[in-house]
Structure 1
């Protein structure tokens, strides 16, 4: 028995009538004849389900994942240990979607999970508000650039060369489409050069650094905060969330916007995606925060509940004037991060960060002994 049930003749007639054509050939009439396929596709005979599964398994044996090899990819993609409880929670049918229904009463569990995630991100980054999730670290940083330009009314940003090169490419793409000028700030001894001229700062919307930067150096964030604020610019930091188990939170250092890549918090490498964009701001910028925000409230009987708040910023209401088109696209990845942080706790995250630090230095010391390095 086929699992696919094709359209009936009546279905086709109804659809053709609805769109104003008499048959399938008339539907294809606008397509130039020279690019239409005039013969049947050369496909092999159909396989049964058993045969198809066996064939796909055979193909999968050609792959070798991180389970077979030690992964040193880095740069935002990390093969960290993922506790079994993470998959056990996020694979539950109540959670297994990135979508949040617009009826809050129909999805209290999902909304509470996102609220807890936002609370943890705020505690981790030292910020006042976080969104439900972003696509990944690169797009979160690009939207932070948009936020800064919209807030200040300026159309230039200063970006450290210590920012991940792929992130800088995404920034350049977003900037090109919006007429924003991206000016790169050089590195000195591995960290961002603090000798930024007042002229460069005077018409800049933001100073953007990554900490730790792409080369693994720790940036002097407070120094840039002072320079940026004195010039009326925002300070944007792209932070690694695990490193914050050891490093001071960017919010406590004076950052206005903190973004980051959350893949390392309970999410697999996933062939490069889906990943988790972290995005948090200080309170004065809350209404410019892109994406969904979940808030806690009480109903008319005094019971605690969770709702989507400040929705007038979003695309389903403001359309093209929205702060962003992102909604809850990565909330399943955010849930994985939430479960991971819950399992780790404050001391566990600190230990995880310390292990990463020790092993990175151990690897560097061994590589340095190889001829040619």
Structure 2
């Protein structure tokens, strides 16, 4: 009787389902678990939109490329470590004639010219740890990278290009050769609650394009928020972008805290907010580069921007003798483009040198209002 009863219920359910119409199928989202010794890349390649690749605690020696939309790559915190692949040891070549006892002859041919610089064809060849990559014609959407450590890569810890809605959250980006977390040609990004430290250039770097000159890119409300940025060359660099916010970050111990960079290209960089950040004691000393002079003691710097607002930040103890030193600095760009219609208001500044507020701009369209500070260059900005 029991078996008949179950069969009856099943038949009844089937009839009801037929009568009401078949319910739409719901795509099942999977979690693909990666354990030490296994390949993260294989799991990412197998993932479909909506899936999560969960990487358990351990050290993984590889680079990872994500090209599939709406995939999440997540670790279990700083116990999940991604480092460069170990280089295989090359066998030493024996000199010609060594096995026969014959002396080698010097070649009379001229040395061949050095080969052209190799173009990176993969995330690993580019010196990057995790790459989220769209194409020239289509952005990759909705990817998340979270809760892991990426370290010791020669270029970038986490790199995004041609992304839409990229989230990087809870990532420890440490001791990478150039940038901790970087992106170009990307929109609607959320970079939040990350710790970027000890990187060769910026802890967080955002740009329109890296390889070519172009006007500022609309970042479509990208948000850089609640990150801890310490001991890098620059805490945050925003280059040739518009329509984004840098807010509530702790920026300390870098050569410079926050850099917003524009130039002569149009549209001009700017129309963005730097607000409610703690920018403290960025007094590490960094040598000059092709683009910038030696850096030390720069809090927040705007150069060649328009309609940028710097408000409600706490900027203290940034001290140096670089042309860019000071608490909040407005500096004419290095190609001679003046900043216009920028607004610096409601900030609290103290013990910055050569001054709390510094402006080398000659234009009169930039405004300084309601800032709490003691010294400015020129006088009268406080």
- TM-score category (smaller protein): under 0.3
Which structure shows the bigger proportion of residues in helix conformation?
Answer: 1
- More relative contact order in 1 or in 2 (CA 8 Å, sep 6+)? 1
Q: Give TM-score, length-normalised by structure 1.
A: 0.23
Which structure shows the bigger proportion of residues in strand conformation?
Answer: 2
